[in-house]
Every structure is written in C-alpha cells, then in structure tokens.
Amino acid sequence: MLVEKKIARKKQIEQQATALFHQKGYAASSMRDLAGLLGIEAASIYSHVKSKEEILQRICFRMAKEFFESLEAIEQEAYNAVEKLEKAIVAHVEVITKDPSASAVFFSEWRHLSEPHLSEFLEMRERYEDKFRQYVREGMQDEVFETVDERFTVLTLLSSINYIPGWFNPDGKLQPDEIGHKIARLFIKGLEKRISN
C-alpha cells in the first residue's frame, strides 16, 4: 500500500531528525543536513512533512505521551506512596533509556516550539510533575517521608533523571532498570524519616 510506505518514510524522517537534533541541536540543524542523512534532496522532505517545526512537535509530543502512559499504568494499581514513587521513577527512566536521543531532544529542544504548542507542552509537563509531587505529599502524610518542599524535591529528582540521555550507554554495565532503582533508592532514602536520630 502507498499509504503504508508514506507512513514508514515519515517515521524514517522522524528518526533521522531525532539523531540530528540530538547531535547538533534543533536550531543548528538544517533541512539540507536532514536530507543528506536520508539520501534525498531537501525539497523532497516537504512532501512528507509541512515544516521543520512539525518534526520537532512530533518528537516532543510523542515522548510526552509515552511518559504519561507509563505513569497511568502505575496509577491503576494501588500502591503506597513509597512504592508509587519508586515505580514512577523506574518507569520514567525506562522511557528515557528506550530512546535516549528522542528524550534528549524532548528535554532540551522544546523551547523552540512555537505557540500554541509551547504552552500545551508546558501544561503537560506541569501536570506530569504534579503527579510526582502528589507521591511526595502522600509520603509525608503517611509520616514515612520527612517534611520537605515538594516542588523543590521533585524538581531535583526529575532533573537528575532527565540528564541520563547525556551519559547513558546501552552497552554499558548499568541496565535501565538498575539505573531507575539506584536513583529511586538514593532519593527515597534521602527523604525517609530515620527511625533513630
């Protein structure tokens, strides 16, 4: 089918663009660079996508969707606050390591989105972070966590995770779920009340 071929080509464009944007940054990447990677002329890309920004939008919103879906899977089962936070961290790391390049683009190139996409993006990020703040709040209410500033804590937590694409090596000794559990352990231990003090 022609339609299937078109979709496959579009996916290919998105993949090469992801690698390119990750390496050079969105603004420094040209449609001619992208065309070179695909082995076609720059003008030909426009029969598959409307604009350079459309490609960025697709990458950013696809990742946003994946992050949300992985959280929803956790929320359907009822855990306690610590378990929820731990599973959310592991899931978040899992999404990142499944596509480190797309994640890097997602985390650092979103500011090149134009309105109204930029606002939509920021709203989604806010909602996502709020889930994490809820887990921290629950942990505090359950008197398992110390009293902390939830906003600050979640910002610190997610920042430390979101940098993973910068150093993650799929062939390295640390496996995705190991990374997730290590970070979860470090933070949860840092947040937990001590039995004796």
Nearer to its own copies, 76 or 197 (CB): 197
Q: Which of residues 92-121 bind DNA (CB under 7 A)?
A: none
Residue type, 30: S
Amino acid letter at 114?
A: S
- Answer yes or no whether residue 111 interacts with its own copies by CB under 8 A: yes
Q: Look-up: residue for tokens 């606050």? A: 81
Which residue has 């939008």 as its token pair? 57
Name the minimum Å distance from CB 3 to its own copies. Answer: 35
Structure tokens at 40: 């076609």
Closest CA to 166 of 97, 109, 112, 113: 97
For residue 175, give the DSSP letter. -
Kindly identify the residues of this chain, within the stretch 31-70, that bind DNA according to CB under 7 A.
Answer: 31-33, 38, 40-44, 46-48, 50-53
Q: Check residue 147 for interaction with its own copies (CB under 8 A).
A: no
Instruction: List the single partner that 196 binds among DNA, its own copies, none, CB under 5 to 8 Å by kind.
Output: its own copies
Is residue 141 classed exposed, middle or buried when 0-12, 13-18 and 19+ CB atoms within 10 A define those classes? exposed
Distance CA 105, CA 113 (A): 12
Among 14, 17, 20, 29, binds DNA (CB under 7 A): 29
Q: Which residues bind its own copies (CB under 8 A)?
A: 24-25, 27-28, 108, 111-112, 148-149, 152-153, 155-157, 159-164, 166-167, 174, 179, 182-183, 185-191, 194-196
Q: Which residues bind DNA (CB under 7 A)?
A: 9, 29-33, 38, 40-44, 46-48, 50-53
